[in-house]
């Protein structure tokens, strides 16, 4: 097993993939799909509708913009430079999955359960992300969530170096959610983040927003 190190000694298990054992595949995501031990490099799948599973595979540079997928099970899989803009991906189960440098502007994503999810360098602007349940750790690093709604269970989620400008939080549970390395200026729904971790500098930067959400009137 290989682990990716996070902050403060925490780690997340990486997908179990031996790239030398993968076979080149042209499998599409239209209809029912079952992708295993495959390497999919580039492909036009914009606007498709499908459901299925992907396991022990690498999906790179595939255009899934405007697609409608679900339910979907992802296990030991890496998505690299995939376009998910304006897609709807629903009823997703995730186990040891990485999303790297993906474009996901306007994505509608609903995760039923996630375990060892790592997302880095992705754009989720104008998106809607719902997480029902986290087992272990889910980490988002260097991601943009501008004008995005993030809802559901955020307990155990780590956000590192993320941008939350005009983000709307609707958290059902945020105990232990780590926001300490991210930018919260402009974020809304902060009261739903009870139990999340921030630093004093962040608290000062969102003081006016917190006062507004609690009904306080700030006078000069």
Report pLDDT for 1: 79
Run of H or E including 200: helix 200-205
Domain ranges (residues) in the chain? 14-213
With the C-alpha atoms ordered 73, 77, 82, 85, is the resulting torsion angle positive or negative?
positive
Mean pLDDT of the chain: 94
In whole angstroms, what is the distance from residue 163 CA to residue 207 CA? 17
Report pLDDT for 217: 73
Report pLDDT for 23: 92
In whole angstroms, what is the distance from residue 50 CA to residue 164 CA? 31
In whole angstroms, what is the distance from residue 51 CA to residue 219 CA? 54
Asked whether the predicted pLDDT for residue 103 surpasses 90, the reply is: yes
Query: 172-195 in b/e burial notation, b at 16+ Cβ within 10 A?
Result: ebbeebbbbbbbbeebbbbebbee
In this prediction, residue 28 has a pLDDT band, given cuts at 50, 70 and 90, of confident
In whole angstroms, what is the distance from residue 215 CA to residue 203 CA? 17
What CATH number labels 14-213? 2.160.20.80
Report pLDDT for 212: 83
Size (the chain), residues: 220
Report pLDDT for 215: 81
Task: Report the largest interatomic distance among the alpha carbons of the chain, rounded to a whole angstrom.
Answer: 65
State pTM to two decimals: 0.94
Report pLDDT for 136: 86
Contacts of residue 97, Cβ cutoff 8 Å, sequence gap at least 6: 15, 74, 75, 76, 77, 78, 79, 114, 116, 117, 118
């Amino acid at each position: 097993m290989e682990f990716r190190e996070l902050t403060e000694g925490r780690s997340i298990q990486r997908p179990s993939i031996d790239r030398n054992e993968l076979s080149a595949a042209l499998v599409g995501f239209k209809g029912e799909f079952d992708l295993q031990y495959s390497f999919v490099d580039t492909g036009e799948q914009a606007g498709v509708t499908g459901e299925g599973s992907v396991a022990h595979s690498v999906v790179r540079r595939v255009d899934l913009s405007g697609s409608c997928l679900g339910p979907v099970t992802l296990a030991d899989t890496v998505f690299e430079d995939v376009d998910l803009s304006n897609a709807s991906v629903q009823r997703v189960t995730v186990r040891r999955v990485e999303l790297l440098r993906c474009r996901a502007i306007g994505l509608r994503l609903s995760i039923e359960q996630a375990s060892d999810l790592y997302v880095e360098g992705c754009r989720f602007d104008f998106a809607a992300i719902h997480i029902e349940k986290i087992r272990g750790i889910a980490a988002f690093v260097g991601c943009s969530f501008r004008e995005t709604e993030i809802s559901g269970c955020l307990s155990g989620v780590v956000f590192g170096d993320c941008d939350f400008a005009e983000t709307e939080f609707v958290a059902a549970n945020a105990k232990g959610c780590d926001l300490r390395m991210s930018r919260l200026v402009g974020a809304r729904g902060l009261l739903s983040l009870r139990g999340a971790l921030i630093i004093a500098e962040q608290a000062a930067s969102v003081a006016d927003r917190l006062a507004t959400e609690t009904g306080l009137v700030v006078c000069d």
